[in-house]
Amino acid sequence: MAVKLLDKMRSIIRLKHYSLRTEKAYLYWAKRYILFHGKRHPQTMGAAEVTAFLSNLAIERHCAPSTQNQALNSLLFLYRQVLKIELPWLDEIVRAKQPRRIPVVLSITEVRSILTYLPAPYELIVRLLYGSGLRIGEATRLRVKDVDLERRSLIIRDGKGAKDRVTVLADSCSDAVARQIERSLSICQHDRRQQLGGVILPYALARKYPEARFDSGWQFVFPASKPSREPHSGELARYHIYNSSVQRAVKSASSQAGIRKPVTCHAFRHSFATHLLESGADIRTIQKLLGHSDVRTTMIYTHVIERGALGARSPLDRMG
């Protein structure tokens, strides 16, 4: 019964065009919930069982607040969208409070130092993270048709919250991006000659336009080194470079550069926003470039600009 329920959940998730990462997370937590209660069907369970499951995550397993909230969101989807059960008590369950963290921001010197230890194509990807304020997934999923070299802009499709936005492409990146696009198109021609599956397309475009797999505009700017199986259909196709490989390269480069801060790919996006703010850019402009729905999210960068907190100068420095 659990297997059939999870299959139904998977179908509804795909019907709503949720991302593959969301699909995996929701199915994982639904399965964990069912196994935690001895394979009982969710229809036979209620507030006590959900609370017990979430409490176990927090108390016994010491899961982070974001993990607890992800598990709760999956159960909300399971009951409301799959089982079609409106349970008012689900709204009353207290969500784990997310702590407000100050983002890790790198100096220009630190960014330059890390870039020197990054091999191709990771060096260019990190340049886009820092130079355009991209999330790691937005950079690796970038397609040729969404790069405008003349206008020096990038179109980010289906970003966080299923939103599109336009952001800036640094002048210093344009030539390198153009060369990377040529490499991507060369790989596409190779796949066509070898009769491989071509690039992975979103939704049902592969069935509607079979030749679009080899269309230059749909190619990933950063294609994977070899074809892989498409997650939904199982067909052999060319995916983009994996996020995890970029993350490993950044971790290795920051270690070689002797950076003691906890450097992640997202730190370059934080640095992009902070350095723009320090240079005098308007907070609303930064909000649009980052794709934030609420300017209050962007305002967190005002806490780390210039010297220390809010650009304040310590009174100790005034003592001769």
Which CATH superfamily, name and number, covers 2-92? Tyrosine recombinase, N-terminal domain (1.10.150.130)
- Nearest-CA neighbor of 122 among 270, 238, 249, 221? 249
**Residue positions annotated with a catalytic role:** 135, 160, 266, 269, 292, 301
Pick 319 or 310 by higher pLDDT: 319
Spatial contact of 277 and 302, defined as CB atoms under 8 Å apart: yes
In this prediction, residue 259 has a pLDDT band, given cuts at 50, 70 and 90, of very high
143 beta partners: 220
Q: What is the mean pLDDT of the chain?
A: 85
Other CB atoms closer than 10 Å to residue 239's CB: what's the count?
18
Q: What percent of the chain has pLDDT over 90?
A: 46
User: How is 280-318 classified by DSSP, letter by letter?
Assistant: T--HHHHHHHHT-SSHHHHGGGGGSSSSSSTT---GGGG
Q: What are phi and psi of 148, to 5 degrees?
A: -110, 95
Handedness of CA 130, 134, 136, 141 (dihedral sign): negative
One of 1.10.443.10, 1.20.1300.10, 1.10.510.10, 3.40.190.10 is the CATH number of 108-303, namely 1.10.443.10
Q: Find the radius of gyration of the CA atoms of the chain.
A: 23
Render pLDDT for 97-116 as a digit per residue (tens, 0 to 9): 666 677 889 999 999 999 99
Pick 90 or 18 by higher pLDDT: 18
156 beta partners: 165
With 70 as the cut, is the pLDDT of residue 320 above it? no
With 80 as the cut, is the pLDDT of residue 142 above it? yes
Render pLDDT for 198-247 as a digit per residue (tens, 0 to 9): 888 876 676 777 778 889 999 999 999 888 877 666 678 888 999 999 99
Mode of pairing for the β-strands spanning 236-237 and 228-229: antiparallel
Mean pLDDT of 48-76: 86
User: How is 152-207 classified by DSSP, letter by letter?
Assistant: TEEEE-S-TTS--EEEE--HHHHHHHHHHHHHHHHHHHHHHHTT---B--STTHHH
Q: Which of 77-81, 126-130, 296-300, 311-315 has the lowest mean pLDDT?
A: 311-315
Q: What are phi and psi of 240, to 5 degrees?
A: -85, 170
Where are the chain's structural domains? 2-92, 108-303
Q: What is the reported pLDDT for 127? A: 95
H helix or E strand, kind and range, residue 153: strand 153-156
Query: 36-45, 202-211, 278-287 — which one is most confidently predicted on average?
Result: 36-45
Spatial contact of 144 and 179, defined as CB atoms under 8 Å apart: no
